């Protein structure tokens, strides 16, 4: 029983990481109707920025908020400069541009910061919390808290502010949105900025656990993609829940199904997700796509 | 997510005028002649690269049938490439079957596997299908390592390059080049026949408007899973050819990046175009090499930059741009 609870708890901890990046993916999808494959590398790059600030003696929280602001501006710029020229091209063209962006960011980060693995500080105290036999990492709890806080902020933003409404409108029906006076182009850019911001926070929360390295996000992005799909790409809350579920499933499958061990962990987690999708094709909490005939 | 929006891809081209078709035929023959002359002028390594291009072109055409013509996205065709490659390697290495037989066998195995995978995939579309296929591509290296008594685990299987048959005066590299070229030409001709006829029109109809297609009596599920099967079959044959040329298989060659590379090639070449497959294959084979020559420090940055530039200049892919250019020339000529 103790093993079970411990595995669930550590599953929740890794799940929190997947959840934060999944949230960024879903955000950009809701705001722009595009899945951003470069999301992980954007987060990685922002994390490096905060790392070099801290190396130059900037205190953690100053560097944190400066990075968040820079990431937002960077996301807006990327949309305006790189994505906009292909905005009206087929979706797959945009996907390829995102893949190009991914390789550029990854390669440039490796070039500037080298591929040496770097430790990254955590803002939370080091000592773990003990509850009976359970060991809870303080950083894991803190990271989960930050993810949930972000989710709440995003929910409030999209649900209760005029700007959030305008952004949803611009993504869902650009032509009608333009007719009622929304500046669609800038809404899309804002969406990219926000997603870059969420990604930057996710990166800074992940880095203390998996260490800083140009390829650090590729594995996480796969899980985040899986989490977002499991939860449903139309639902930020679903994506976060999906992240936690994937983390727990992966851990439990690795522990209890003997032939799996660690080598087939990823395969089993993905197989489970595909099975869930076959029953609910739009994810657990997603709305089924409605087509106009 | 509309994979290929209707306006981006011509549904059916008006019959080409006889004179234009004559020119096209002559151009194709000329290209084929050049391709046949190449192996006698190029070095061994370049030859090997071109053998890979033919294999890639077949795989990219397979994926293009599925994604470009039928509107089903796949991020997992690396898995079928691996399946084809391993079928060949295991048949040669474990059962000592002549390599010639292993190529159709690889195609057949992948046809069945693709068809079976296509049935559950019917329920998914867009992003969700992308994830399911993505999962397939991720799982394959792990599964291959797991069954190591067959696949040799992460060590892989080493093969020897086949010699030219019938006493032909060709080196193994030259023979593999011609083998790949020949199979590619045959498969391209078959695909051209398949796609311009009734079946091809049904595939495109399902992509553009599944409801209207069903109303016209097209059996959507059957066509979609068959397309998946044929697409996987092409990719499997390509995998077999590629493994023969490399003379080695290992699980980690077939990583997720390979599947993404195929998709890149499809889009760079042009969605829903047959000739585009060759342009796409040339791109994914040679651009990474040239990027390495330009900048040793950050080669993938150059690769990414060229991807983005290509998409700016030719948002419809190479063959889409050629199509537009050709139309302009013809209309310009008429006044």
pLDDT of residue B332 exceeding 70: yes
Q: How confident is the model at residue A1 (pLDDT cuts 50, 70, 90)?
A: low
Q: Which two tokens stand for residue A45?
A: 């790059």
**pLDDT in the model for residue B109:** 92
Mean pLDDT of B55-81: 89
Mean of the per-residue pLDDT values for chain A?
A: 83
pLDDT of residue B234 exceeding 80: yes
Cβ neighbours of B311 in A, within 8 Å: 86, 89, 93, 96-97, 100
**pLDDT in the model for residue A66:** 93
Question: What's the pLDDT tens digit per position in B114-138?
Answer: 998 888 888 777 777 887 888 888 8
Q: Are B131 and B242 in contact (CB under 8 A)?
A: no
Q: Which residue has the tokens 């079970």?
A: A4
Mean pLDDT of A257-262: 64
Cβ neighbours of B307 in A, within 8 Å: 96-97, 99-100, 103
Choose the closest CB to B304 out of A101, A271, A273.
A101
Question: What's the pLDDT tens digit per position in A4-55?
Answer: 888 888 888 888 888 888 888 887 787 777 777 888 888 899 999 999 998 8
Backbone angles phi, psi at B71, to 5 degrees: 75, 15
CA of A129 vs chain B CAs: smallest distance (Å):
36
Minimal-distance CA residue of chain B relative to A36: B127
A222 interface with B at CB cutoff 8 Å: yes
Mean pLDDT of B255-273: 85
Minimal-distance CA residue of chain B relative to A229: B128
Q: Are B126 and A281 in contact (CB under 8 A)?
A: no
Cβ neighbours of B139 in A, within 8 Å: 266-267, 270-271
CA–CA distance from B306 to each of A97, A216, B290, B309 (Å)? Answer: 10, 24, 11, 5
Sheet strands (E) in chain A: 129-131, 134-136
As a whole-number percent, the residues of chain A with pLDDT over 90 amount to 9
Cross-chain residue pair B271–A92, CB shorter than 8 Å: yes
Cross-chain residue pair A110–B298, CB shorter than 8 Å: yes
Q: Which of A119-123, B133-137, B197-201 has the highest mean pLDDT?
A: B197-201
* More confident of the two residues A220 and A243: A243
* More confident of the two residues B232 and B295: B232
**Rounded distance between C-alpha atoms, residue A195 and residue A46, angstroms:** 12
Give the A:B interface size as CB pairs under 8 Å: 140
Among A100-114, A208-222, A248-262, B161-175, name the one with the lowest average pLDDT: A248-262
Choose the closest CB to B308 out of A82, A264, A282.
A82
Cross-chain residue pair B127–A233, CB shorter than 8 Å: yes
Cross-chain residue pair A273–B135, CB shorter than 8 Å: yes
Q: Which two tokens stand for residue A205?
A: 């929360």
CA angle A260–A261–A265, rounded 5-degree value: 65
CA of B29 vs chain A CAs: smallest distance (Å):
32
What string of DSSP letters covers B61-102? HHHHIIIIIT----S-HHHHHHHHHHHHHHHHHHH---HHHH
**Rounded distance between C-alpha atoms, residue A204 and residue A71, angstroms:** 12
Question: Please, what's the b/e burial string for A190-221 (b: 16 or more CB within 10 A of its CB; e: otherwise)?
Answer: bbbbbbbbbbbbbbbbbbbbeebbbebbbebb
Q: How confident is the model at residue B19 (pLDDT cuts 50, 70, 90)?
A: low
Q: Which two tokens stand for residue B60?
A: 């990219």
Please name which of B238, B190, B210, B191 lies closest in space to residue B65, comparing C-alpha atoms: B191
């Amino acid at each position: 029983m103790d093993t079970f609870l411990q595995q669930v708890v550590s599953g929740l901890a890794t799940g929190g990481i997947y959840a934060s990046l999944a949230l960024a993916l879903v955000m950009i999808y809701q705001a722009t109707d595009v899945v951003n494959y470069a999301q992980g590398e954007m987060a990685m790059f922002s994390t490096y920025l905060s790392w070099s600030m801290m190396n130059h003696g900037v205190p953690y929280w100053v560097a944190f908020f400066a990075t968040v602001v820079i990431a937002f501006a960077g996301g807006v710029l990327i949309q305006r400069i790189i994505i906009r020229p292909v905005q009206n091209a087929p979706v797959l063209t945009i996907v390829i541009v995102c893949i190009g962006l991914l390789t550029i960011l990854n390669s440039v980060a490796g070039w500037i910061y080298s591929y040496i693995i770097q430790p990254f500080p955590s803002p939370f105290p080091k000592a773990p919390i003990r509850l009976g036999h359970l060991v809870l990492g303080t950083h894991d709890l803190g990271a989960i808290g930050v993810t949930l806080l972000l989710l709440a902020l995003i929910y409030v933003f999209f649900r209760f502010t005029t700007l959030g409404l305008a952004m949803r409108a611009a993504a869902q029906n650009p032509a009608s949105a333009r007719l009622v006076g929304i500046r669609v182009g800038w809404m899309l850019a804002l969406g990219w900025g926000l997603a870059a911001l969420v990604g930057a926070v996710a990166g800074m929360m992940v880095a203390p656990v998996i260490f800083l390295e140009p390829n650090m996000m590729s594995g996480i992005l796969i899980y985040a993609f899986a989490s977002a799909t499991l939860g449903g790409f139309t639902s930020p809350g679903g994506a976060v829940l999906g992240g936690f579920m994937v983390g727990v499933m992966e851990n439990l499958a690795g522990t209890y199904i003997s032939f799996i061990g660690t080598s087939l962990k990823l395969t089993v987690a993905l197989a489970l997700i595909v099975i869930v999708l076959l029953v609910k094709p739009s994810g657990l909490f997603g709305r089924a796509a409605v087509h106009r005939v | 997510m509309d994979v290929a929006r209707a306006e981006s891809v011509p549904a059916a081209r008006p019959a080409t005028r006889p004179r234009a078709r004559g020119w096209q035929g002559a151009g194709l023959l000329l290209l084929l002649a050049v391709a046949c002359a190449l192996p006698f002028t190029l070095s061994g390594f370049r030859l090997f690269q071109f053998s890979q291009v033919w294999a890639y072109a077949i795989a990219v055409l397979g994926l293009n049938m599925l994604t470009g013509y039928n509107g089903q996205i796949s991020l997992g065709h690396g898995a079928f490439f691996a399946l084809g490659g391993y079928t060949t390697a295991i048949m040669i290495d474990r059962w000592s079957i002549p390599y010639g037989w292993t190529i159709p066998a690889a195609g057949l195995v992948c046809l069945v596997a693709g068809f079976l995978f296509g049935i559950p995939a019917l329920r998914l579309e867009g992003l969700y299908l992308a994830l399911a296929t993505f999962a397939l591509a991720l799982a394959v290296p792990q599964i291959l390592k797991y069954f190591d008594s067959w696949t040799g685990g992460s060590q892989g299987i080493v093969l020897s390059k086949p010699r030219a048959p019938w006493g032909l005066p060709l080196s193994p590299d030259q023979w593999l080049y011609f083998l790949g070229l020949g199979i590619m030409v045959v498969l391209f001709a078959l695909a051209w026949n398949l796609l311009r006829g009734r079946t091809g029109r049904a595939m495109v109809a399902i992509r553009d408007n599944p409801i209207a297609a069903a109303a016209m009596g097209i059996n959507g599920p059957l066509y979609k899973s068959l397309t998946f099967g044929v697409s996987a079959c092409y990719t499997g044959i390509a995998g077999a050819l590629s493994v023969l040329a490399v003379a080695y298989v290992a699980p980690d060659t077939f990583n997720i990046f390979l599947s993404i590379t195929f998709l890149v090639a499809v889009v760079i070449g042009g969605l829903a175009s047959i000739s585009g497959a060759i342009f796409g294959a040339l791109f994914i084979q040679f651009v990474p090499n040239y990027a390495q020559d330009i900048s040793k420090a950050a080669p993938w940055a150059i690769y990414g930059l060229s991807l983005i530039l290509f998409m700016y200049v030719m948002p419809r892919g190479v063959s889409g741009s050629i199509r537009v250019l050709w139309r302009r020339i013809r209309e310009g000529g008429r006044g």
